[in-house]
Amino acid sequence: MLSTRLCSIAAIALLVTGCANNSPSLGSKNISYGDTKAVETVTNEFGSTDLQMIAESMTRSLAQSGTLQGRPVVQVYDVKNKTSEYIDTREITNSIKTQLMKTGTARFASDDNQMQNQVDQLKLQNQSGLYKKTTVAKTGNMVAAKYRLEGSISSIVKRSSDYKDVFYKFSLQLIDVESGLAEWMDEKEIRKTTER
Amino acid sequence: MRMKIVGALMLALLAGCATPPPPAPGSAASKVVSMGDTKNIEVGAMRVARENGFLTVKAQLTNTSSRNRMMYYRFAWLGNDGFPVADEESWKSMTLYGSQSTVLPAIAPVPRATDFRIEINTP
């Protein structure tokens, strides 16, 4: 009697596990994850592919140019947006900085937008009296940048009844802080045309 | 005599069905990964050099058609062990005009890259 019961429980358990959904996904089938590296042509506004192409091309050109000898300290400034559309240019800056860091050719000083946090932290450690003295970061030891990296993106937009043409030009230059000389410069041009 | 002719025909048929031999290791063809049928796009000579510590590649591309052709491409950068040394690159699109031959330049993202593959796809 007991063995019959056990058998039936086992059979039910087997049936239940057999019917279970073993796919590691949950939710609507209309939503899916796409390839982040795919060529995106949903509209002809500035898009992910443009950001990736610009960062890739500029970083590699700079790293391979041989200008960055001995892993100099570089300060990155936000890319100036001179286009007519909203572009989160800080993301271009971040991508360039990340990729340059991965090449191992440069070190980076606090960016202009992070400087306040850096100064606040130093002040907090040194002036608040909250921290153990041996662990406090001393003031006056920040490493100054040898170069500054500045860029801009501009666009020319033309429309007709049949076409919309957008031409983006991204420029990046590396300037020696002491001499003020531009040591390296490159451009990336992108044309996107929509036929109506 | 008839047997010989039949034999020769059979051999010819077999040779016709045989798959082409794989490209020789290190050859330009061995660096190209065609994703599907890459219609009318031919990858020709390649120049590989190391400049300022980074592997640089120049690959010749030819559109064998008289019409403009669009293609997608990206490079994969490999280390000594044959495995990728960097994140996947983003796909890029390129238009080749009818019968145009051009050179595609590329720079490795990290000095560790010692080898590469060009992935090509046509819409």
Q: What is the 3-state secondary structure (H, E, C) of B32-76?
A: EEECCCCCCEEEEEEEEEEECCEEEEEEEEEECCCCCEEEEEEEE
Nearest to B54 among A39, A64, A102 (CB): A64
CB contact under 8 A, B107 and A49: no
Residues 80-99 of B with CB under 8 A from A: 86, 88-93
CB contact under 8 A, B52 and A65: yes
Smallest Cα–Cα separation from A192: which of A161, A169, A172?
A: A169
CB contact under 8 A, B91 and A49: yes
How far is B86 from B76, CA to CA, in rounded Å?
A: 8
Query: Tens digit of pLDDT for each residue in B3-24?
Result: 666 666 565 555 555 666 667 7
CB contact under 8 A, B90 and A102: no
pLDDT over 90, % of chain A = 75
A52 interfaces chain B, CB cutoff of 8 Å: yes
How sure is the predictor about A146, in pLDDT bands with cuts at 50, 70 and 90? very high
Burial of A123 (0-12, 13-18, 19+ CB in 10 A): exposed
Q: What is the pTM of this model?
A: 0.81
How far is B108 from A60, CA to CA, in rounded Å?
A: 7
* Residue B54 with chain A: CB contacts under 8 Å: 60, 63-64, 103
* Residue B35 with chain A: CB contacts under 8 Å: none
Smallest Cα–Cα separation from A170: which of A155, A183, A182?
A: A155
Smallest Cα–Cα separation from A79: which of A68, A90, A70?
A: A90
Model pLDDT, residue A164: 93
Question: What is the Cα gyration radius of chain B?
Answer: 19
Query: Tens digit of pLDDT for each residue in A70-105?
Result: 999 999 999 999 999 999 999 999 999 999 999 999
A97 interfaces chain B, CB cutoff of 8 Å: no
